[in-house]
Chains A and B, each alone.
Chain A
Amino acid sequence: MSALNPSGWQPSMGDAQGSGSELVTSSGDRGLMFEEPLSFEIGALDKCGVDMDEPGGEPVAALGAFLRKSAPDLPGLTEPETVRHYSRLSRQNYGIDLGPFPLGSCTMKHNPRLNEKLARLPGFADVHPLQPPTTVRGAFEAMDELSKWLIALTGMAAVAMSPKAGAHGELCGLLCIRAAHDHAGEARDVILVPESAHGTNPATAAFAGFKVESIPATASGRVDLAAMKAKLGPHVAGVMITNPNTCGLFEPEMKAISDTVHAVGGYVYCDGANFNAIVGKVRPGDLGIDAMHINLHKTFSTPHGGGGPGSGPVVLSEALCPFAPLPFTVRTGDGEAHLVEESNAAAIGHTLAFGRMTAFHGQMGMFTRALTYILSHGADGLQQVAEDAVLNANYVLRSCDDLLAAPFGSAGPCMHEALFSDSNLPEGFGTLDIAKGLIDEGFHPMTVYFPLVVKGAMLVEPTETESKAGLDRFIASLRHVARRALNGDETLHAAPVLAPRRRLDETLAARKPVLVWQRDPG
């Protein structure tokens, strides 16, 4: 029995001679690997996949001069053609359903289908946000129940539910901080951000009207507390810390960081992108944090959908609660959950809200999925989630650190992600080669060249939903590709050669942008 898989299963390797990989086909398709034209190249203006009644009525009377002269130039497809077009396109995508998706910081975990089923119940999916409150009691109750969980899991005082994604949650947290300082009559215009932060952190601070100053990292990959202290002062509104940080390490001095910032009148924002590592194990409220967004599409398993939607509720400390944006839910003495919005905020005493971040009430479709996931795991299961996520990452770290440089590997265990770098690879080989080599092995690569504080970084986040056998297969491939690089295998520069596309010319794309299809793009 091989250690790789206890069942002893081996992939069927066949005869490399007869693989036919050089065969040129007349269709361009290669067996189950399909080429698919653009819908604009196969559709027609008068094709339609939807049957509709005759319109009736007389449009001119009510529209007059506003009528458009011709139908929009949008080719359509019939239903069978539509199904085939998108099904064939989907085959060119990698997804978590097909294998590990170890993007560090992104937390690509299994997306339970129960979440999808229940979010589609008409009582959740077919409800208008402005229906009379008496007809949407269950929706408010679901929002309130999720709020309760998020507050309990983080040990914070309240949660603002409306932010649409992580970066929008960051914005919400910083605007709360800004509003709190404004209310206190303090003009503080600087936010401190560690060098290792996600790009959204400094971008958000600037978007919220702050100046950004950078805090360096220590040799062990943590926030340099002394350097941070040196930058603190009456002009500093707060700091944005990611914990666990983007090197996959817990900030052991987090409480001291918070206390130091509070002592000079600042607030502590925590980027909660990595909450998956500590959910049920550590409550951010105990670390002195004032605001933290929670990516429901990371820790709480709502699907990423090729780039969203996300959802980024922000938990808040007592000090920042009064400034939370509208709307949110409260449960009143009658036991009912109510929505607090512009019309009733004053009546419940929420008079300092900094405003509104979005139309309507937030990502309800994500709330129902996240709540379903949370109820499935329960308090005990969520704790196991963090433990298994951390265990899996450390297993990857210790299974590969003999071949790949692990910048902080000697300092101790990591949290939910294992960080490697290309510093030990021979001249001419780098992180990009490892990533593209993994594609030929049938895996999605890890996050590459991030965090910026480590040159040639490779950040592997397996998550808790990978089995040991699955991890062993991934590790075997990562080791194989690392060996190819260490042995100076020049063919690695051409990888991937087995994917739907070879390396794409990104310079060309940016130099001569073609962003929409035209009949003759030349």
Chain B
Amino acid sequence: MRYLPLTAADRTQMLGVIGAGSVNELFCDVPEALLLDSPIDGLPLHASEMAVERHMRRLAAKNLAAGDAPFFLGAGAYRHHIPATVDHLIQRGEFLTAYTPYQPEIAQGTLQVLFEFQTQVARLFGTDIANASMYDGSTACWEAIAMATRITRRGRALLSSGLHPHYIAVATTMARFTGDAIASNTPDLSSTAGDDELIAGIDENTACVVVQYPDILGRIPDIAAIAAAASSKGALLIAVVTEPVALGLIEAPGNLGADIVVGEGQSLGVGLQFGGPYLGLFGCREKFVRQMPGRLCGQTVDAAGKRGFVLTLSTREQHIRREKATSNICTNSGLCALAFSIHMTLLGGEGLARLARINHARAQATMTRLASVPGVTCLNQAYFNEVTLILPRPGGEVIEELAERGVLGGVALERLYPGVDALKNAILVNATELTGDDDIETLASELAQVLA
């Protein structure tokens, strides 16, 4: 077997050193009746590289890759161009095959990348500090809520109706077990984000208000107004960014008064990957640092006085604090953080701003063209690169029919809000720098035929 270097002679010689007659003697603590001495029945045996590749290619071929069709899906996962450099660099074995940097003297590569990543995220979000990553946006969002309840010693989280429904589901699931109260609603199909209604819901027991920016329907809430209202009641504002490219064009939530900013970093460097692995981003005010979840990389010096980096403030973490830790997270998304960081370095601040302007322009072109399709109306006033379209009939059927015509036309709200009749006829449509004029034209003409 190509991954197993021991030869039969090695095994015999090693058993001799150990003083065992057979390998099974080494399993002597396993009750004999439970020890399997032949491979588990009904499973295939080992296969060559060629055979495995053939099998996996057959599975992959049953999927329609986003790059092989006009593609307009978003809803928390966005398709952007990833420079070839990113994937090349993350596959360097020294990055790819390293562990969490527990031995900093021989992990400065990973650690310096994490320090740069933290700085990039903090600057992008407009927060004082950021951590070394979480699993994804949805779990980062719950961790932020849990952190806010620790800081405020209050047990109620108020979630904006514009928060991604999967993020709401994760928070609701967790709160059911922690005893925290989650207040949330399904969104209305109104052209603005419903900030006034959200603000009216903040009370003296509210630990935090959670607002997605831009929201699930592509609308842009007024973070500054909500932050001021939250602050006046002693609640924290958590801003959730599922499309970080937007922050090249719209103001960073931290600069608008958000106390904690979390997000999904998948847009930069990571790719779609059918939903994971993704990259949880987590930034906040410096005064909350000891309540933060996850790894933190900090600057220090070595015994010779050279600058170096280490994992720090570990007394918040599970391997030191055990049941008193701020979170149970251990493995995070290190390699995805590296990909994000490389992509961000390649872009730079002005490159990100330009990329964001291109995204917005492509979305404008898409909306303008689709709005001319009979029966289609666009919900949004303000938007970045994603809008909600209202159709004359159920969006789920329309998306399916478009797929039959080879067009991946968007995400039906039915998929995200099953059983909510008011949202049944709406779909989300996203455009990025990868959206060509020909893609837009194909979607518009196919949509016109499907709706005719």
Contacts and interface: CB of A to CB of B under 8 A. Distances in A.
A371 B56 contact: yes
Q: For this complex, into which size category does the number of interface residues on chain B fall? A: 35 or more
A375 interface: yes
Interface stretch (A10-18, A53-61, A260-268, A483-491): A53-61
A116 B98 contact: no
B358 interface: yes
B100 A394 contact: no
Max chain B Cβ within 10 angstroms of own Cβ: one of A117, A198, A249, A516? A516
Contact of B312 (A125, A378, A506): A506
Given A342-B169, A510-B313, A359 B101 contact: no
A199 B351 CA distance: 42
A62 interface: yes
A171 B98 contact: no
Interface string A191-210: 00000001110111111110
Interface in A84-111: 85-87, 89-98, 101, 103, 106, 108, 110-111
Given A67-B250, A391-B14, A506-B300, A444 B358 contact: no
A111 B94 CA distance: 12
B200 interface: no
B95 A77 contact: no
Interface stretch (B34-42, B151-159, B201-209, B444-452): B34-42
A57 B138 contact: no
Interface string B93-134: 111111111111111111011111011101110001110110
B271 interface: yes
B116 to A, nearest CB: 5
Given A110-B3, A208-B177, A395-B14, A126 B276 contact: no
Interface in A424-450: 435-436, 439, 444-445, 447, 450
Contacts of A72: 123-124, 247-248, 252, 349, 352-353
B35 A465 contact: no
Nearest to B53: A118
B43 A378 contact: yes
B5 A470 contact: yes
B140 to A, nearest CB: 10
A385 interface: yes
A332 interface: no
B343 to A, nearest CB: 8
Contact of B300 (A47, A125, A508): A508
Nearest to B319: A199
Interface in A128-171: 128-132, 134-139, 141-142, 145, 149, 152-153, 164-168, 170-171
A361 B276 contact: yes
A343 interface: yes
B6 A468 contact: yes
B163 to A, nearest CB: 11
B11 to A, nearest CB: 6
Given A74-B352, A153-B40, A342-B418, A69 B251 contact: yes
A286 interface: yes
Interface stretch (B231-239, B329-337, B369-377): B329-337
B328 A167 contact: yes
Given A52-B355, A413-B20, A209 B177 contact: yes
B275 A111 contact: no
B346 A50 contact: yes
Contact of B106 (A280, A500, A513): A500
A501 B308 contact: yes
Interface string A349-385: 0000011111111111110100110011111111111
Interface range on chain A (Cβ under 8 Å from partner): 35 or more
Contacts of B46: 376-378, 380-381
Interface string B308-320: 1110111101111
B347 interface: yes
A126 B89 contact: no
A295 B316 CA distance: 23
A212 interface: yes
A126 B4 CA distance: 32
Interface string B247-284: 11111100100000000100000011111111000000
Given A63-B220, A167-B329, A127 B251 contact: no
B421 interface: no
Nearest to A397: B18
Contacts of A186: none
B338 to A, nearest CB: 7
Contacts of B354: 48, 52, 55
B105 A121 contact: no
A91 B104 contact: no
Interface in B166-185: 166-167, 169-170, 172-174, 176-179
Given A52-B355, A62-B360, A325-B173, 7 more contacts: A48-B348, A55-B360, A310-B331, A359-B167, A384-B1, A444-B103, A515-B289
Leading 9 A-B pairs by shortest Cβ distance: A76-B348, A305-B335, A355-B173, A123-B60, A360-B275, A57-B361, A138-B62, A307-B334, A97-B93
12 contacts: A63-B360, A93-B106, A118-B57, A121-B57, A125-B273, A178-B177, A206-B328, A305-B95, A306-B98, A343-B418, A376-B52, A468-B5
